[in-house]
Amino acid sequence: MKKHARDVLLIALIMLIGGVIALCLLLTRKTGAFVEVRVDGSVVSVYPLDEDAEYLIEGAHGGSNRLIIRNGEAWVESASCPDGLCMNMGHIRYKGASIVCLPNRVVISIAGEADEDVDAVVGQ
């Protein structure tokens, strides 16, 4: 078994780092306030997470993704991309969580914090 000592150490280290990443994400997660939609890296629209709605996102190369916001969760219901991976990325509600559609270059992410006091109102 001494032969595999380094293997065990390496795999333990990989698992440990993975655990640390998980812990960091879990401890810092907060329910978000907004759904931010980016196409090609720039924000194209921001929607409130607490209002049920449906939107059609126009991505790059003529692609589109149908975004659903319901019960404080956001997800992609249908998409024009061939793999449809964005539909499989599940429902998101926590700050920083995101749905990525690489073919359409669309990133949908949760921003803001739901419970925080309002520091400033942007816009208007």
Distance, in Å, from the CA atom of 91 to the CA atom of 68, rounded to the nearest integer, reads 9
Among 89, 91, 112, 113, binds other proteins (CB under 8 A): 89
Distance, in Å, from the CA atom of 59 to the CA atom of 49, rounded to the nearest integer, reads 21
User: What is the rounded end-to-end Cα distance, in angstroms, of the chain?
Assistant: 68
Nearest distance in Å: CB 90, other proteins: 8
Among 30, 66, 70, 105, binds other proteins (CB under 8 A): 105
Q: How many CB atoms lie within 10 A of CB 82?
A: 8
Of 2-10, 50-58, 65-73, 116-124, which segment contacts other proteins by CB under 8 A?
2-10
Spell out a b/e string for 30-55, using b for 16 or more CB atoms within 10 Å of the CB, else e.
Answer: ebbbbbbbbbeeeeeeebebeeeeee
Q: How many CB atoms lie within 10 A of CB 108?
A: 26
Contact track, other proteins, 44-73, x by CB under 8 A: ------------------------------
Q: Closer to other proteins by CB, 4 or 54: give it.
A: 4
Q: Which residues bind other proteins (CB under 8 A)?
A: 4-7, 10-11, 14-15, 17-18, 21-22, 25, 38, 41, 83, 85-86, 88-90, 96-98, 100, 102, 105, 107, 109-110
